[in-house]
Structure 1
Amino acid sequence: MLNYPEHILHQVEKPGRYTGGEWNSVCKEWSKTPLKVALSFPDTYEIGMSNLAIPLLYDILNRNPDILAERVFSPWLDMENLIRERKLAFVSLESGHPVKEFDILGFSLGYELTYTNILNMLSLAGIPILAAERGGDFPLVIAGGSCSLNPEPLADFIDAFVIGDAEEAIQDLCQAVLDAKKQTLSKDQVLRELAKIPGIYIPSLYQAEYNPDGTLKSITPTAPEAPPVINRRILPELPPPTVKPVVPYIEVVQDRGAVEISRGCSRGCRFCSAGIIYRPVRVRPAAEVLSAVEGIMDNCGYDEISLLSLSCSDYPGIENLVKTLAEKYADKHLALSLPSLRLTPDSVGLVNVLAGGRKSGLTFAPEAASERLQKVINKLTSEEELCDTARTAFESGWTSFKMYFMIGLPTETDEDAAAICQMAGRVNSLSRGAPGRRPQIRLSLASYVPKAHTPFQWEAQLDEESLYRRADIVRQGLKRWGIKVSWSDTKMSLLEAVFSRGDRRLGKVIYTAWQKGAKFDAWSECFNFTLWQEAFDECGLNPSFYAHRKRPLDETLPWGHINAGVSAEFLKREYARSVEGQDTPDCREGKCHACGLEKAVTECNNRLHGK
């Protein structure tokens, strides 16, 4: 039986987004399962099904006989219009039950520009948008993921945030809700019980006060169960990988199997929030990776597997792992992908093994071109290393070479922007000597967005006029070589900067923008900055206050009560080193830098004390 009437599905662009019934999907008996959880990614099916967290939590929760986990994603505009016009229930993919009938609705937060989609999905489901207006008859609305490390902009809408690794925390939370159901506790009582769980943040149990100049004065608990600081949950080792993920009926963004080979990164790039909030590095043993690949191929039929990590190049024995997989599945023509490789000639050799006879495009991310700026951001890639990598790639037959750079990085000058042209020009000159068809050189520019919990969390985002000038320096400089340049939307980057370091007053801006029609803000065809500007004006807030203002080091930050594990003292030291142009070595290759994790992670503590 279809979740939506067949005549409705005939009217939408991709009906496979809404039918459910995919291979490996789990549909438990509704009436006999005590706790019902709807897992959601607030974007389309194709993007949500490519998110790593959803299949992990789906598998973990459905292994518990007392819990059923089903999926729900944001319907595209055509389907949303039909749901509203025909007054249809917004339902889950597995059983087709209305979302508002679940006990828990959980959102995975990976990008700030999906926030209005959360409100839109709550509205479609008939669930009050404001947490304060939801009683015990509605689902408990929870959220986790990278954006939850600054949960404040969504504090008005989310009942509970899972801070950090969710695999164990979500089980603790669900067990607490199960116990609460047996005791028929009120919603307020449930939230107080959840606040006792490590890593669970209940925003309604905290009060924010502001100074006359608009900066945050304090965030303080209003209930004895609420701790003054919420510590990020950190798993000591990676849990077993999912080997029976749901196989979509339609093509999705990452249409392949995936195995997380490691979590965390210790290289210490100062612009990178993932390098902080996923520390420490935890490596999956090679034998477990091999077993997972075999399981996914047997259970899903994929002939392409992605080995996921923040830095695949740093996985111990990555060459042997790739070689073993390539040899083992040579007769099955298995394609392997490593999406995060460092810029070295060895990386080219590695992907040569992966590609077999298919050699189309290579992508690397130097981020900055001048040696000075590379030291500021603590990501060193010499021009010589880049050229050696490009030369190796071209000699190996690769026909496309793409480079990612950022503009607007702290301390950046026009000369730093011009250095991007010089670096790209060197690569372009090397492409002339490539055998066969001359490789295409492409360049992608992104406007830098300062993030919470990084050494640059106090820095201002560069204003739009300066960003355009820097981007124009790059584009004009590359014209003579015909190198294609793409650049991210500055208005989108502005909003991202606002919400990544915003406070809970922004909730009314998000709500107002959504009421005006803002949704799918990450999609260029849907993004309308005018709606957001009107919302800021009506709410009496200025986006520049959040994005373009440099913060003093002693300012109380909206995310200051969220302990990511890395101390503010370490971030300040790294910020000072960036200003001085000093790089900081990878802590796994030298001494421990006492970033704060030594207080919570045994391995880090042992390294600090030379054990």
Structure 2
Amino acid sequence: MTNALAGHELFTQQEGLNGLDFLNLQGSYHPNDLGQTLISNALTPTVNQAVGYALGNLGLVGPPAPDPQPLPTVDTPPVVDPPIDSPPVEQPPPVDPGDPGGPVVDPPRPWTRSPTPPPRAAAEAERKATETHMSRLLREIEDIMKSEIPLCGPYRLTGKVPDSLRVVFLLPYMREMSLMCMGPLALYDLVNRGSDIPAVAERAIRYSCLRASGNRLAPPEGEVYRTIESASPVATADIVGVSIANSGDLPSFFRLLDLAGIPRRSADRVFGRHPLVVGGNGGFANPEILADYVDVVALGEGEASMVELIRVVHRARGAHAAMDPELAKESVLEELSRVPGLYVPAMYDCELRPGGGVTAVRPRTPRVPAKVRPQFLGLDELHAAHFVAPISNGKRGVVVPTLGCRWACHFCTLGVPPFRQAPFELLDAYLAELEKHDIAQVVISSATFTQYGKRYALLDCRRSRN
């Protein structure tokens, strides 16, 4: 048929057809009326069949339905209900024709999908999908805790008072960089190791699973922003400390508060319902920039001022429980403003110069100090974690050999704190501890390391261990 339609012996001078079978390749199919009729009659059934199969394979049409046959009619007697009072008539069981006297065997039913549990592979895939959706944050926190090594020994919190405060340090960095935030880590270690400090410290970082939308962050869907150490939301903490390294990163302050669900403005936070927000580090060197948003700013080194802040808030939580929240907060802030090294913006009026700058900062009440100075401590007052990182991820350790600078250049703030050097014995013992855990990398976080008197001995000690 294909050859005929393609023109095989289609146009010839022969008048008639040499056979009507289209399989005869030698046939002469002359395009006259007779030839057209005969070849049409021969090819039409085959072409219709081929087209029908093609359309059926494409799902466009189904097979032609057979002509309906009339059903045979069977005369059946009418069904008459038995009388109510008559006993039920027992019908004899049907008999199998192949086995007279035996019961009829039901024919096998066609296969149908039964409500059985899904196959093992489907169940495993469903479990993994649920786990991935619901616990991305939890799985990342578990990885963090497995990798972290407390270099100064485990934290034993069993000696804390039962009503200890919950202090959360918010760090605007991911897991690697968060372990280099020496200021918050030093306070974290101090609070958790001090049995006489009525608080437990926790950390919340910028987890990699957080969702970013413009300049905002949000936890994975269905989860809340929590700390590494606790499943409780950050917003339920008693005190939240935000560490900003420099003023260029101040937007991180608002990003972290929004992430935790804490109101931005200090006036919108209710004492006893929202945490007390404390700012620190170099980003708050000029605390008036965020005066409407932060409750307290720790100026200088916070080992002493933060511990006193915790004690004040701990006492106030019980003493001011029945007091109006607004009055309670004002009372607490006034008491905190008298702690050396703590600046409470709500207790002061800042007069700005028209062309820029500050004319004066005056206290609103004589019960608060007229000036607040940053607090710098001696070596015997500083916690060991101020010089060596208390936690490592197994890759690196951090040391701070020097604080401050010997010089006081007018363009630099390194000379504001007095110059102090970390005890060599402390650094040497820390390097030995890193060696025990096979931690090969050491970060020297000190802009004035060249002023450290025993820097060569420290480097030689490191080389001898390698």
Q: Under TM normalisation by the shorter chain, which class is it? A: 0.5 to 0.7
1:272/1:75 Cα in 2 relative to 1: closer, same or farther (>3 Å)? same
Conserved 8 A contact 1:144-1:163: yes
1:62/1:191 Cα in 2 relative to 1: closer, same or farther (>3 Å)? same
In the alignment, what sits opposite 2:399?
Answer: 259
- Which of 270, 275, 286 is matched with 1:135 structurally? 270
Conserved 8 A contact 1:74-1:117: no
Conserved 8 A contact 1:208-1:220: yes
In the alignment, what sits opposite 1:248?
Answer: 393
CA deviation after TM superposition for structure 1 residue 91, in Å: 0.7
Counterpart code for 2:450:
S
Matched, 1:144 2:280: yes
In the alignment, what sits opposite 2:48?
Answer: none
Counterpart code for 2:456:
E
Conserved 8 A contact 1:39-1:106: yes
Aligned partners of 1:77 and 1:16: how far apart in 2?
Answer: 8
Deviations 1:353-400 (A, max 9, x none): xxxxxxxxxxxxxxxxxxxxxxxxxxxxxxxxxxxxxxxxxxxxxxxx
In the alignment, what sits opposite 1:121?
Answer: 256
SS, match of residue 204 in structure 1: helix
Matched, 1:182 2:325: no
1:215/1:15 Cα in 2 relative to 1: closer, same or farther (>3 Å)? same
Conserved 8 A contact 2:180-2:389: no
Conserved 8 A contact 1:140-1:159: yes
Counterpart code for 1:43:
Y
Deviations 1:283-314 (A, max 9, x none): 1222222122223444x542222344322221
Deviations 1:223-255 (A, max 9, x none): 233322111101121634236723338xxxxx5
CA deviation after TM superposition for structure 1 residue 78, in Å: 4.5
In the alignment, what sits opposite 1:47?
Answer: 177
Counterpart code for 1:263:
L
Segment drifting more, 39-48 vs 77-86: 77-86
CA deviation after TM superposition for structure 1 residue 215, in Å: 4.8
**With structure 1 as the length reference, what TM-score do the two structures score?**
0.47
- Which of 439, 447, 450 is matched with 1:302 structurally? 439
* Structure with the bigger percentage of helix: 1
In the alignment, what sits opposite 2:422?
Answer: 284
1:213/1:83 Cα in 2 relative to 1: closer, same or farther (>3 Å)? closer
Conserved 8 A contact 2:297-2:342: yes
Aligned partners of 2:219 and 2:383: how far apart in 1?
Answer: 41
Count the aligned residue pairs: 316
Larger radius of gyration: 2
Question: How many percent identity over aligned positions?
Answer: 26
Counterpart code for 2:371:
V
Aligned partners of 1:153 and 1:269: how far apart in 2?
Answer: 24
**Unmatched 5+ residue regions in structure 2?**
1-129, 322-327
Matched, 1:16 2:152: no
SS, match of residue 271 in structure 1: coil
Segment drifting more, 172-181 vs 132-141: 172-181
CA deviation after TM superposition for structure 1 residue 135, in Å: 0.8
CA deviation after TM superposition for structure 1 residue 131, in Å: 0.6
Aligned partners of 1:31 and 1:125: how far apart in 2?
Answer: 26
Counterpart code for 1:204:
A
CA deviation after TM superposition for structure 1 residue 160, in Å: 0.3
Aligned partners of 2:179 and 2:357: how far apart in 1?
Answer: 39
SS, match of residue 32 in structure 1: coil
SS, match of residue 307 in structure 2: helix
Conserved 8 A contact 1:241-1:292: no
SS, match of residue 177 in structure 2: helix
- Which of 375, 395, 402 is matched with 1:233 structurally? 375
Deviations 1:42-74 (A, max 9, x none): 233332222111321111010123321110123
**With structure 2 as the length reference, what TM-score do the two structures score?**
0.61
Conserved 8 A contact 1:259-1:293: no
CA deviation after TM superposition for structure 1 residue 106, in Å: 0.2
Aligned partners of 1:227 and 1:240: how far apart in 2?
Answer: 27
In the alignment, what sits opposite 1:594?
Answer: none
SS, match of residue 240 in structure 2: strand
SS, match of residue 231 in structure 1: coil
